């Protein structure tokens, strides 16, 4: 299967691994990321591996830029039939110390950014009568996490948004599902660990029945299946690839 797959946050961590898995399935990959340099590197690595890939520097919070970027993807690679939204900001701040600027930025990137990308991708999917949308949410959106009220709220919103999209477009060959990671070894997790915001590694591991933190490939393998032809009847679901941490 050779379709165009847009992966936001595709330059790092979970998004980077998802780009690799989708490329292995034969898709053409558009790596969208705020960080243009690492996005170029990611797309270059995919091309070195034999895939067709292009990097696009974009802040998903910028609605106009999202629209023009999807237009550029269409011109450069073709219509978009697979969308994975992994771009997000994360951090830990006590509720009473969250500034309105911080609150607005979290909503703009994590929730509105996801909505903007879904809206930009849908016309191509409707036209084709086929589409796959996977949002990377968070266990924080399922359970809530202290000192992450802003992040948890946006990720809960992403889960509800995904379910609503699934219901609205199920009759048009388009699926939408969400993967809510718990703890995955990525630069985002490393930053939280270095900032002292995570429990000690042995405590974190004890919170995960499987006994280990996840890898980006753990998430990417399930994401690749959700984007496959065979997964056409699987929609509106929240699938915790989390070692049993949240069930």
Ligand X SMILES: NC(=O)c1ccc[n+]([C@@H]2O[C@H](COP(=O)([O-])OP(=O)(O)OC[C@H]3O[C@@H](n4cnc5c(N)ncnc54)[C@H](O)[C@@H]3O)[C@@H](O)[C@H]2O)c1
**Is 151 designated active site?**
yes
Strand partners, 7: 31, 84
State the binding string over 26-55 for ligand X (x if CB under 6 A, else -): -------xxx--------------------
Torsion angles phi and psi, residue 134, rounded to 5 = -130, 120
Select the residue interacting with ligand X from 4, 11, 224, 226 (CB under 6 A): 11
Q: Report whether 190 contacts 182 (CB < 8 A).
A: no
Which are the contacts of 134, defined by CB distance < 8 A and separation ≥ 6?
83, 84, 85, 176, 177, 178, 179, 223, 226, 227
Q: Report whether 172 contacts 129 (CB < 8 A).
A: yes
CB of 159 or CB of 170, closer to ligand X? 159
Q: How many residues bind ligand X (CB under 6 A)?
A: 30
Closest distance to ligand X from the beta carbon of 118 (Å): 14
Closest distance to ligand X from the beta carbon of 129 (Å): 29
CB of 151 or CB of 169, closer to ligand X? 151
Interface positions, 123-152, toward ligand X (CB under 6 A): 136, 138
Closest distance to ligand X from the beta carbon of 172 (Å): 26
Select the residue interacting with ligand X from 6, 29, 46, 60 (CB under 6 A): 60
CB of 110 or CB of 235, closer to ligand X? 110
Indicate the angle between helix axes 113-128 and 63-76, nearest 10 degrees. 40
DSSP, collapsed to helix, strand or coil, labels residue 25 as coil
State the binding string over 185-214 for ligand X (x if CB under 6 A, else -): -xxxx-------------------------
Among 107, 69, 102, smallest CA distance to 88 is for 107
Among 182, 184, 180, 177, smallest CA distance to 226 is for 177
Query: How many residues are there in the chain?
Result: 247
Residues at the site binding ligand X, with contacts judged by CB under 6 A: 8-9, 11-15, 33-35, 58-61, 86-90, 109, 113, 136, 138, 181, 183-184, 186-189
């Amino acid at each position: 299967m050779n379709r165009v797959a847009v992966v936001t946050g595709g330059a790092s961590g979970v998004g980077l691994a998802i780009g690799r898995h989708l490329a292995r399935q034969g898709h053409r990959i558009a790596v969208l990321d705020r960080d243009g340099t690492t996005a170029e590197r990611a797309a270059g690595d995919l091309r070195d591996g034999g895939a067709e890939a292009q990097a696009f520097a974009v802040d998903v919070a910028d609605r106009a830029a999202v629209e023009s970027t999807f237009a550029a993807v269409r011109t450069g690679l073709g219509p978009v039939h697979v969308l994975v939204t992994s771009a997000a900001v994360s951090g830990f701040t006590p509720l009473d110390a969250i500034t309105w600027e911080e609150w607005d930025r979290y909503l703009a990137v994590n929730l509105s950014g996801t909505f903007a990308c879904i809206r930009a991708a849908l016309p191509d999917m409707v036209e084709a009568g086929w589409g796959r949308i996977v949002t990377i949410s968070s266990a924080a959106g399922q359970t809530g996490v202290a000192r992450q009220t802003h992040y948890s709220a946006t990720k809960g919103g992403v889960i509800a948004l995904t379910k609503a999209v699934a219901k609205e477009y199920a009759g048009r060959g388009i699926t939408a599902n969400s993967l809510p990671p718990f703890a995955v070894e990525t630069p985002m997790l490393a930053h939280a660990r270095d900032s002292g915001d995570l429990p000690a590694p042995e405590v974190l591991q004890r919170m995960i029945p499987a006994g280990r933190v996840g890898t980006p490939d753990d998430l990417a393998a399930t994401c690749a299946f959700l984007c496959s032809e065979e997964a056409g009847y699987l929609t509106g679901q929240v699938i915790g690839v989390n070692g049993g941490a949240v069930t």
